[in-house]
Amino acid sequence: MHPFEYVRATDSDQAVAVVTEDPSASYLAGGTTQLDLMKDGVLDPDRLVDITRLPLGGISHTDSSIRVGALTTMEELAADPVVRERLPFVWEALLLGASTQLRNMATIGGNLLQRARCRYFRDPTVAACNKRSPGSGCAAIAGIQRMHAILGTSDHCIALHASDVAVPLTALDALLHVQGADGTRTVPLTQFYLPPGDTPHIENVLRHGELITAVEIPLLPAAARSHYIKVRDRVSYEFALTSAGVALVQEDGVIREARVALGGVGTVPWRAWDAEDVLRDAPAGADTFLAAARAALGGARPLPGTAFKVELAQRTLIRTLETVAGAES
Amino acid sequence: MTTLEAARAVGPGLDRVDAPMKVTGKAHYPNDFGYPGLVHAALVHSTVAAGRIRGIDTSAAETAPGVQAVITHLTAPRLEPGPMTLLGASPPTPFQDDRILHHGQHIAIVVASSPEQARHAASLVRVDYERSEPLLDVHDPRATVVENPWGLDSDRGDVDAGFAAADVVVGGTFTTPDNTNNPLGLMSTVASWNGDSLTVHDSTQWPHNVRATLAAVFKVPESGIRVLAPYVGGGFGAGLRVWPHVILTVLAARQVGKPVKLVLTRPEMFTSVGHRPDSVQQIRIGATRAGDLTAITHEGLSSVAMEDDDYEPVSLCSAVSYACPNVRTQDRQVRLNIPCPGSMRGPAEGQGNFALESALDELAHELGMDPVELRLRNYCEEHPLLGLPWSSKALRDCYLQGAERFGWSRRDPRPGSMRDGRWLVGYGMAGVSYPHYQVPCQARASLHRDGSADVRSAATDIGTGTYTIMTQLSAEQLGLDVSRVHFDLGDSDMPYAPQAGGSGLTSALGNAVGAACRNLIREFLDVVKDDADSPLRGAAPDEVSVSGGRIHRTGAPDQGESYTDILTRHGLEELSADGRSTPPQPDGGGMATAGAFGAKFVEVRVDPDLGLLRVARVVSAIDGGRILNEKTATSQIVGGTVGGIGQAMFEETATDPGTGRIANATFGDYLVAVNADVPDMEVIFVGGPDRATPIGTKGVGEVGLVGVAAAVANAVHHATGRRIRSLPITIDQLL
């Protein structure tokens, strides 16, 4: 591991100032991604600014949303009764997203900023990785593709965004509160992540030194039902091959409101706007669900090793829609 | 032979005698050992799979904080090759030239004051390669093919005539991937020189092999080398050989003149300590309409490293498992630029059984015959190659009792006919005829004046229960309570023991321990043979029994005395005796020595829409000969079954097609079964003592894994109608 200086931040302004001024500095929160990548030689910050003592935890509620401090752990968020009652698919995604040990360490802010699980990105002996070394190429495209994305990919990167909880949060239009050296701003999660394009090393709109301070999650209408399904090779402790987070409001068998996002398939947590358009004001039933699933995967660009994911993702979404709509017991 | 009246020490599920040490942290594994002045090593690996090292720049590493030495092929001394062993040649000695044979090959070792400093310095070594195009695919026409690598290809009868006589012929191509052993304990070596003598703590399954290899490689006397492995964090075969990192640690310790510790990282475990090689198998089976096998051909193709050997006769199982007059089996190996393969739990059998037992299931389906009935119909009472009756074989009971326990009769044979809500339900089974393996072993038993016994041998307990069952066996053989027996192992200064491998240690060690105990009783009788005060005076070994810490005349418990009384009266502190075992010779006793047999019954659930496969329950019926401890033996089968589920559904070491890099060398990417994947597992033991040896045991370390993959695949066929011929069985195959 590259030697580094460890700094424990005492207030947010100081933390932001230190990291903003030092291009080789990084924040340290739960560390469940950051430290792994440092040990593997993928990240080599000269300075780690530990923010875990900052007052950025805690969950507060209003009638229409919950505000989650960025240092809230996944486990703390999953334990919040409002999340469980009003946002069941967020609760499910949290529990399916990591083991208890990791949920107790990992923060919600860190979860949203987790790096790609790509086996080529995570091994510095692989020379060709545009995400790690811009312009070096992408070994994954010619390599073992099974765990990679089919939506939002480019010729320069096919790495997947592997967060589970980001899927329902994307569907919910969650907002990120961000603090920078010049003040604070708010970024919708749906506009936070950047597709790889020809700059896969730029993964989101944060500028160096900007710090996520809170995530604001709108609550679903009381009449909504939601569900998150995760399909993976083993029953637990594994990233998704495909996943779907769905929230529906139905009225007499007709879908009035639909929020749909997919995991395991996108270079970013994938909001399935086209599927929502199909679902809205359509009768809840097999034909509608199939049409929605096809719409959701319409832009897929599979490789031979990921071809099966197009079908699997559609079936995963259909199963999730069926479950939420109550068509399946 | 001395009569054993108190046999209660053996059989029941005695708790592991080493459990308190382990759960209280007092059991010291190799990487727990330290020495004053201990320094730490880290390895540098090749990032190409073939070529030469044109230049290697260690200057930055050498000046990094804490660094004491950086050793490469340019600075390493000339070292000798390791010796031939029971398992074949030693792996190539490292650092002897500039050639690169596989990605991940060790090319430098860095020694520093802390492990962190060593790893960081290792990252600073810069290498200039002259690259060659690596050979990575068993189908690459440029690769060297080794025909009949072990001389085990077999051909009996006339297979062409057999297929001509068949009413039904089934078969196809079956493939299995590379699997990596992945014991939880990271393989570790601590080496400390004192002049020409050397102490090594190593994660080995075979201390004497480490000693002999290091003596040969470093040209020092074996007598000065002590190898210690009292506790090892698992092995699954990864600890059977003396891998290059062990030699490099010992070399580093000599170079820096200090004790050195090396703990492999998890990614290094994928490239440094062997793996189950992939296989491509062609199998054909012909049968009459009535279900009599008329012909089998089975061809196996496996990968092997460029300059190493590995014993993987994958097709051999088809020659020895069923009564069939016409059988041809053939194995080939293809030399590739890959890390050295090596034995992994159920080597060869784990791959070959998948093809054989899947094809038999296909045959049963084609014939409309129950899969159990098909196997019973072709049951072989004699070893098909030797023509001799087995020393023991209760496979019929495995089939019948396993089927009964499982509820096999509830199986509707039509694929896709059984459901549970959305889930398709499948029942599948497979048989296992595990080969016999045994090699010579020695042990020493001592009885002290306080009536306690010490028994020891340089074997290892890699989590299998050897400490426990040898304590029980010694107690039984000496007529002592288990609390009065201390069994010790894992030290090359103890009497010679072979590897914990090949399911062969229990019989080899058990019979050596038995012999030592019998010889020890003989020693006692010798001491009192002219002792007028002894009720045992003049007694011959076959006239006495042992129980309760006493020797007495058989049938006359009052005509005897305790070990303590004999030792005290004769002014002796203790008596000791050695014992040895040699493997039974197949023809000597007019019987074919048998390994374990088993029948595996598996229920799966398949969600056909999402391709989800779940193993719902497994029943394993095992003929393991005499079971010394039902609890530890059951654990062996349960652990093997979990490994079999991994082989069936998850485990696949992925090699990058272009570079030869292992692409999933972490526990996040290389999937093994986790608790949530492991179902209810039931184990029943059938049969009785094997006739081939006095102790009557057969090894159960590997029979638990073999057959699970085929049984799962057969259950998947029953559930879905799909015949999966490629492991692991993943979601994409079931969509």
Chain A closest-CA separation from residue B644 CA (Å): 14
Chain B partners of A123 at a C-beta cutoff of 8 Å?
661, 663
User: Comparing C-alpha atoms, which of A149, A56, A151 is closest to residue A109?
Assistant: A56
> What angle is formed at CA B726 by the lines to CA B724 and CA B729, rounded to 5 degrees?
65
Chain B partners of A96 at a C-beta cutoff of 8 Å?
none
Which domains does chain A carry? Answer: 5-50 (3.30.43.10), 225-325 (3.30.390.50)
- Do B669 and B718 belong to one domain? yes
Chain B partners of A44 at a C-beta cutoff of 8 Å?
none
pLDDT digits (tens, 9 = 90+) for B181-190: 999 999 999 9
Count of domains in chain B? 3
- Do B558 and B609 belong to one domain? no
Judge whether residue A329 has pLDDT over 50. Answer: no
Q: Which residue has the tokens 């072979």?
A: B498
- Among B581, B600, B620, the domain-final residue is B581
The reply to whether residue B611 touches residue A235, judged by beta carbons under 8 angstroms, is: no
For position B4, what pLDDT does the model report? Answer: 56
pLDDT digits (tens, 9 = 90+) for A197-239: 999 999 999 999 999 999 999 999 999 999 999 999 999 999 9
Chain B partners of A238 at a C-beta cutoff of 8 Å?
671
pLDDT digits (tens, 9 = 90+) for A244-253: 999 999 999 9
The confidence band for B6, taking pLDDT boundaries of 50, 70 and 90, is very low
Q: pTM of the prediction?
A: 0.97
For position A1, what pLDDT does the model report? Answer: 84
The reply to whether residue A144 touches residue B656, judged by beta carbons under 8 angstroms, is: yes
Residue B140 lies in a domain: no
Chain B closest-CA separation from residue A13 CA (Å): 33
pLDDT digits (tens, 9 = 90+) for B12-35: 789 999 999 999 999 999 999 999
Judge whether residue B588 has pLDDT over 70. Answer: no
Residue B473 lies in a domain: yes
Three-state SS for B569?
helix
Establish how many alpha carbons lie within 13 A of residue A213's alpha carbon, considering only the half-sphere containing its beta carbon: 17
Task: Find which of B131, B609, B670 to mutate to test the A interface (most A CBs within 10 Å of its CB).
Answer: B609
- Do B537 and B611 belong to one domain? no
For position A306, what pLDDT does the model report? Answer: 97
Helices (H) and strands (E) in chain B, counts: 17, 29
For position B2, what pLDDT does the model report? Answer: 60
Residue B487 lies in a domain: yes
Chain A partners of B677 at a C-beta cutoff of 8 Å?
234-236
The reply to whether residue A119 touches residue B116, judged by beta carbons under 8 angstroms, is: no
- Which value, in Å, is the radius of gyration of the alpha carbons in chain A? 19
Q: Which residue has the tokens 């970013």?
A: A268
Task: Find which of B125, B263, B661, B662 to mutate to test the A interface (most A CBs within 10 Å of its CB).
Answer: B661
Residue B177 lies in a domain: no
Residues B426 and B718: beta-carbon distance below 8 Å? yes
Give how far Cα B457 sits from Cα of B329, B498, B503, Å.
Answer: 38, 10, 17
The reply to whether residue B676 touches residue A139, judged by beta carbons under 8 angstroms, is: no
Residues A322 and A289: beta-carbon distance below 8 Å? yes
Judge whether residue B1 has pLDDT over 60. Answer: no
Q: Which of A143, A235, A237 sits opposite B656 (nearest CB)?
A: A143
Q: Which of B610, B658, B664 sits opposite A119 (nearest CB)?
A: B664
- Do B483 and B471 belong to one domain? yes
- Do B562 and B636 belong to one domain? no
Give B556's contacts (C-beta < 8 A, 6+ positions apart).
none
pLDDT digits (tens, 9 = 90+) for B355-411: 999 999 999 999 999 999 999 999 999 999 999 999 999 999 999 999 999 999 999
Spatial distance between the Cα atoms of B694 and A294, rounded to a whole number of angstroms = 69
Written as six digits, the tokens of B24 are 């209280």
Judge whether residue A328 has pLDDT over 90. Answer: no
Q: How far apart are the first and last CA of chain B?
A: 63
The reply to whether residue A238 touches residue B735, judged by beta carbons under 8 angstroms, is: no
Residue B173 lies in a domain: no
Judge whether residue A154 has pLDDT over 90. Answer: yes
pLDDT digits (tens, 9 = 90+) for B190-211: 999 999 999 999 999 999 999 9
The confidence band for B686, taking pLDDT boundaries of 50, 70 and 90, is very high
Q: Which residue has the tokens 């460890």?
A: A6
Residue B175 lies in a domain: no
Chain B closest-CA separation from residue A218 CA (Å): 31
Written as six digits, the tokens of A157 are 């990167």
Q: Which of B119, B422, B674 sits opposite A235 (nearest CB)?
A: B674
Chain B closest-CA separation from residue A309 CA (Å): 8
Tally Cβ neighbours within 10 Å of residue B182: 23
For position B585, what pLDDT does the model report? Answer: 81
Tally Cβ neighbours within 10 Å of residue A127: 13
Residues B56 and B208: beta-carbon distance below 8 Å? no
| Chain B residues touching chain A at CB-CB below 8 Å | 45, 47, 65, 116, 119-120, 123, 422, 609-612, 614, 649-650, 654, 656-659, 661, 663-664, 668-669, 671, 673-677, 730-732, 735
- Do B83 and B208 belong to one domain? yes
Residues A136 and A54: beta-carbon distance below 8 Å? no
Residue B163 lies in a domain: no
Largest Cα–Cα separation, chain B: 85
The reply to whether residue B676 touches residue A117, judged by beta carbons under 8 angstroms, is: no
The reply to whether residue A233 touches residue B650, judged by beta carbons under 8 angstroms, is: yes
Give how far Cα B582 sits from Cα of A94, B487, B684, B706, Å.
Answer: 58, 21, 29, 26
The reply to whether residue A308 touches residue B123, judged by beta carbons under 8 angstroms, is: no
Q: Which amino acid is at B239?
A: G
In A211-285, alpha helices (H): 273-279
Please tell me whether the peptide bond between B728 and the residue prior to it is cis, using omega within 30 degrees of 0.
Answer: yes
Judge whether residue B611 has pLDDT over 70. Answer: yes
Residue B124 lies in a domain: yes
- Do B521 and B617 belong to one domain? no
The confidence band for B589, taking pLDDT boundaries of 50, 70 and 90, is confident
Instruction: Report the CATH number at residue B68.
Output: 3.90.1170.50
Rounded to the nearest integer, the mean pLDDT of chain B is 96
Catalytic residue among B299, B651, B682, B702: B702
- SS3 of B255-303: the string is HHCCCEEEECCHHHHHHHCCCECCEEEEEEEEECCCCCEEEEEEEEEEE
What integer is the mean pLDDT of B511-539? Answer: 97
- Among B272, B293, B326, the domain-final residue is B272
Judge whether residue B9 has pLDDT over 80. Answer: no
Chain A closest-CA separation from residue B47 CA (Å): 6
What ipTM does this complex have?
0.96
- Do B501 and B560 belong to one domain? yes
Task: Find which of A95, A123, A316 to mutate to test the B interface (most B CBs within 10 Å of its CB).
Answer: A123
- Do B576 and B661 belong to one domain? no
The burial class, CB within 10 Å (0-12 / 13-18 / 19+), for B555 is exposed
Chain A partners of B42 at a C-beta cutoff of 8 Å?
none
- In percent, how much of chain B has pLDDT > 70? 99
Chain A partners of B61 at a C-beta cutoff of 8 Å?
none
Q: Which of A235, A236, A319 sits opposite B609 (nearest CB)?
A: A319
Q: Which amino acid is at A112?
A: L
Domain hosting B51: range is 33-134+184-234+239-272
Phi, psi for residue B500 in degrees, rounded to 5: -80, 90
Residues B601 and B371: beta-carbon distance below 8 Å? no
Q: Which chain B residue has its CA at the smallest distance from A119's CA? A: B663
What integer is the mean pLDDT of B551-575? Answer: 97
- Do B621 and B554 belong to one domain? no
- Do B553 and B600 belong to one domain? no
Residues B458 and B524: beta-carbon distance below 8 Å? no
Spatial distance between the Cα atoms of B635 and B615, rounded to a whole number of angstroms = 19
Give how far Cα B256 sits from Cα of A319, B71, B119, B434, Å.
Answer: 63, 10, 17, 47
Instruction: Report the CATH number at residue B726.
Output: 3.30.365.10
Q: Look up B702 and say whether it is catalytic.
A: yes
User: Comparing C-alpha atoms, which of B717, B708, B713 is closest to residue B424?
Assistant: B717
Spatial distance between the Cα atoms of B707 and B395, rounded to a whole number of angstroms = 13
- Do B502 and B423 belong to one domain? no
Task: Find which of B642, B732, B733, B735 to mutate to test the A interface (most A CBs within 10 Å of its CB).
Answer: B732
